[in-house]
Chain A
Amino acid sequence: EVQLVESGGGLVQPGRSLKLSCAASGFTFSNYYMAWVRQAPKKGLEWVATISTSGSRTYYPDSVKGRFTISRDNAKSSLYLQMNSLKSEDTATYYCARRGSGYYDGTYYSGWFAYWGQGTLVTVSS
């Protein structure tokens, strides 16, 4: 059974840093792209970051580019999100997710989030 368990959330002051972790189990972690998705309180979902299987390629939306860094340790089956220069608008539940992909009609597709963790809440406030 695929399991993704996030940790590291909490209350942090604006401008400070926080690092989230995600422990993966139930699948060969090193074979999958992984991602972070967040959800502000009572709001919708926002993709935050994606990382390739080896960690050599990372992708971010402009809203977090330059402040957030996604990384992974395949030996530990763990995913991380380093968040710097935090702002109040970064307040959200952060979900770890496994990216879905596959060949369909001979074409490779990807980009959906097949499995999600339960999330960890980050509150940015003074």
Chain B
Amino acid sequence: DTVLTQSPALAVSPGERVTISCRASESVSTLMHWYQQKPGQQPKLLIYLASHLESGVPARFSGSGSGTDFTLTIDPVEADDTATYYCQQSWNDPWTFGGGTKLELK
């Protein structure tokens, strides 16, 4: 299975720029997607196909990468962005998720 590795946690101040990384154990082309999950809620799609912004998602969110290395950038970070962020690949079977990066605001 394709393993997606994410840093467990990050802490940033409001107004700063933050990058959340996701590294795949093998190439996933550009079939990498990003989700935001707030406590007690279902995940919400932010970015699909590595860099496509989902409708309704603020332009503060952006994605980049291909192959094995991907990043989700939030610029500027707002207090409401406190959440866990997951990457997910759909290039290799089975589809897999990263372990999540918990973003905390200072």
Residues of chain A whose beta carbon lies under 8 Å from any beta carbon of chain B: 37, 44-47, 59-62, 95, 100, 104, 109-119
Question: From DSSP, what is the main secondary structure of chain B's interface residues?
Answer: loop
In order of increasing CB-CB distance, the 6 nearest A-B pairs are A111-B90, A61-B94, A112-B33, A116-B42, A112-B48, A45-B97
Chain A residue nearest to B97 (CB atoms) is A45
B59 to chain A, nearest CB (A): 19
Q: Are B99 and A44 in contact (CB under 8 A)?
A: yes
A47 CA to B94 CA in the complex, in Å?
Answer: 8
Q: Are A117 and B42 in contact (CB under 8 A)?
A: yes
Q: Are A118 and B98 in contact (CB under 8 A)?
A: no
- Is B78 interfacial (CB 8 A cutoff)? no
A60 CA to B95 CA in the complex, in Å?
Answer: 9
Q: Are B94 and A109 in contact (CB under 8 A)?
A: no
- CB-CB contacts below 8 Å: B6-63 with A: 31, 33, 35, 41-45, 48-49, 52, 54
A110 CA to B89 CA in the complex, in Å?
Answer: 10
Q: Which residues of A contact B94 (CB under 8 A)?
A: 47, 60-62
Q: Which residues of B contact A46 (CB under 8 A)?
A: 97
A selection of 13 A-B contacts at a CB cut-off of 8 Å is A37-B43, A44-B99, A47-B95, A47-B97, A60-B94, A100-B48, A104-B49, A111-B90, A112-B48, A113-B33, A113-B35, A113-B45, A114-B45
